[in-house]
Structure 1
Amino acid sequence: MNYRHAFHAGNSADVVKHALLITLVQALQHKPGALTLIDTHAGCGLYDLGSGQAQRTGEAAQGVLQVFADGNPLLDTYRAAVRSVNVGPALQLYPGSPQFLAQLLRPQDVLVLNEKHPEDVTALRIAMRTTPAAVHARDAYELWLAMLPPRTARGVVVVDPPYEQTDERARITATLAAAYRKWAHGVTVIWYPLKDRAAHGRWQEQLRKLGIPKILSVEHWLYDDDQAGIYNGAGLFIVNPPYAFTQALPPLLEALRAALAPEGHRGRLTCEWLSGER
């Protein structure tokens, strides 16, 4: 599956991913100690919802625009983060994960971004030029391991690949195993699309076999029944989620489910431990 950020900016997967990422980082910031935030597949950083790429799919209409039409106050923080990159009431721009993370930075925090695609890393540097982010253009999996353990005791690694390569899941699994050996208490967030339930089940089993004590799985299934052969939603594997984050999840997930449910479908936003706490 090829999932380039520019074609899907502001869709339902982005909404869930970014709303949860904000909540996760804010939960970690309950403690004053510095955080290192690492985004291994950072993309362009900022996306024009009126571009040919975004307009080709039109997915923002079923994502961020639905959330802006929804009045649930639990989504106010997410909406404010999106508004901050726009001028005026119209939503012309959508922030990628680097922009959301940059907005959350405290003076003591560190932001490291990586994007290997030549055109995208150029756009990323332009989008992040007013922030203190360090921008790299390296192989994502090499950078992931090279940055661990970070100089700060705590931090988050965000892994959000386009799944262009057939071995993407295998590389994630192998790199996560090595990363856990280097930084066992670090928080890792892995985004993935939901398409083939059987293949996804096999990947879940491979991750369980790594023996990592705490992996939380959050999955957003758009439709009430699987739609064969198409994109059905997306999920996040979260290694070592903090307690404050898991406690905040149930009402937030319900707010997201209700705001993003496609017409004629209720949708599902599930949260369960792949390994660890029950």
Structure 2
Amino acid sequence: MNYRHAFHAGNHADVLKHVVLLALCEALVAKPAACFALDTHAGRGLYRLEGEEARRTGEADAGVARLRTGVDPAVDRYLDAIAACRAANGDDAYPGSPWLLAHALRARDRIACCELQPQEAAALKANFAGDARVAVHARDGYVAIKALLPPKVDGERFARGLVLIDPPFEAQLAEFDAAFAALREGLARWPQATFALWYPIKQRRDLQPMLREAATLPAKSSLFAELLVRPDDSPLRMNGSGMLLLNPPFGIESRLSATLAALRAMLVEGGGRGDARIAWAKPRD
């Protein structure tokens, strides 16, 4: 696997993924019981937007750098988290999903992060060496779903929680085969958890088989949240991305609808056409 997220940190896909992730965390911590989060493709957890990789692509300039405060509460929560990350790690720091999970969850909650690439896994371990809540596993995140779910940490079982699956999609559409197999395994082992799968959008019509299959997953309900910053008219670039949410928290669709509209207004490229949509794959009963 050749993918390195440092080249893409803070781009429009990160913005969508991380805003949604924090919204899911907010719902989790609204209840007193401890919760567990699994990040299957964690990366290094912390990036430098002025680093060589990020500056080579400049993708953050068209992503997180365009966001404004005071537009939407979920966007403000995300920007507050970035500010907290920079206060602790320097002005060009950008938080990956493990950092955001550690920031949003509580002292009694637990987090497991999986990363297969040795250098990224080593950096991830170093970044969370002082946080006893975070366990780092240098292993395949798909395989870890079978090993780590249902979660049990130091003898404590967790009834509530979240699984984030954020693969690099180097296999392109074939990645959905592995991701959906993992989702079925995870739902069988921990059926009450929320599962979130990030996916890229080039030409949305190519995703129709995935959209149909999502409705067959053994979740009580499933929801798509998508943001396109350009028309989906080219297979050569990522024009947007989406999140498939299985067993999403009650009411999140209405909150995310306003957030996606705000993100579309801020991130659509060149005053052109983009899109933001919320749609149920399997509505609640």
Query: For this structure pair, what is the TM-score category when the shorter chain's length is used for normalisation?
Result: over 0.9
- Pairwise CA distance, 1:202: 1.4
Residues 234 and 4 (structure 1), Cα distance of their counterparts in 2 relative to 1, 3 Å cut: farther
- CA distance in 1 between counterparts of 2:266 and 2:257 reads 14
Higher relative contact order (CA 8 A, sep 6+): 1
Kindly indicate whether the alpha-carbon contact (under 8 Å) linking 1:34 and 1:152 is maintained by their aligned counterparts in 2: yes
1:67-86 deviation line (CA, Å, top 9, x unaligned): 14x54252221111001121
Residues 2 and 269 (structure 1), Cα distance of their counterparts in 2 relative to 1, 3 Å cut: farther
Equivalence for 2:107: 107
Kindly indicate whether the alpha-carbon contact (under 8 Å) linking 1:258 and 1:266 is maintained by their aligned counterparts in 2: no
SS in 2 for 1:216: strand
Equivalent in 171, 179, 184 of residue 165 of structure 1: 171
- CA distance in 2 between counterparts of 1:214 and 1:226 reads 30
- Pairwise CA distance, 1:254: 1.7
- CA distance in 2 between counterparts of 1:108 and 1:244 reads 25
Equivalent in 204, 214, 217 of residue 207 of structure 1: 214
Equivalence for 2:154: none
1:10-51 deviation line (CA, Å, top 9, x unaligned): 011111111111111111221111110110100010011112
Pairs within 5 Å for 1:142-221: 142-150=143-151, 151-165=157-171, 167-221=174-228
Q: Is 1:257 matched with 2:264?
A: yes
- Pairwise CA distance, 1:211: 4.5
Pairs within 5 Å for 1:1-278: 4-68=4-68, 71-74=70-73, 75-87=75-87, 91-132=91-132, 133-150=134-151, 151-165=157-171, 167-224=174-231, 226-277=233-284
- Single out whichever of 225-234 and 47-56 deviates more from structure 2: 225-234
Letter of the 1:213 counterpart = K
Kindly indicate whether the alpha-carbon contact (under 8 Å) linking 1:10 and 1:64 is maintained by their aligned counterparts in 2: yes
Aligned residues: 276
Letter of the 2:148 counterpart = M
1:180-215 deviation line (CA, Å, top 9, x unaligned): 122221110101111133331112222223343311
TM-score between the two structures when normalised by the length of structure 2: 0.90
Letter of the 2:150 counterpart = P
SS in 2 for 1:78: helix
- Pairwise CA distance, 1:107: 2.0
TM-score between the two structures when normalised by the length of structure 1: 0.92
- CA distance in 2 between counterparts of 1:226 and 1:10 reads 23
Letter of the 1:271 counterpart = I
- Pairwise CA distance, 1:91: 4.4
1:203-236 deviation line (CA, Å, top 9, x unaligned): 2222223343311111111114523422111110
| 4+ aligned runs moved over 6 Å, structure 1 | none
Letter of the 2:213 counterpart = Q
- Alignment gaps of 5+ in structure 1: none
Kindly indicate whether the alpha-carbon contact (under 8 Å) linking 1:149 and 1:182 is maintained by their aligned counterparts in 2: yes
SS in 2 for 1:185: coil
Residues 194 and 2 (structure 1), Cα distance of their counterparts in 2 relative to 1, 3 Å cut: farther
Residues 253 and 198 (structure 1), Cα distance of their counterparts in 2 relative to 1, 3 Å cut: closer
SS in 2 for 1:155: strand
- CA distance in 2 between counterparts of 1:245 and 1:208 reads 18
- CA distance in 2 between counterparts of 1:91 and 1:277 reads 43
1:136-164 deviation line (CA, Å, top 9, x unaligned): 01111110121111220000000001112
Kindly indicate whether the alpha-carbon contact (under 8 Å) linking 2:253 and 2:278 is maintained by their aligned counterparts in 1: no
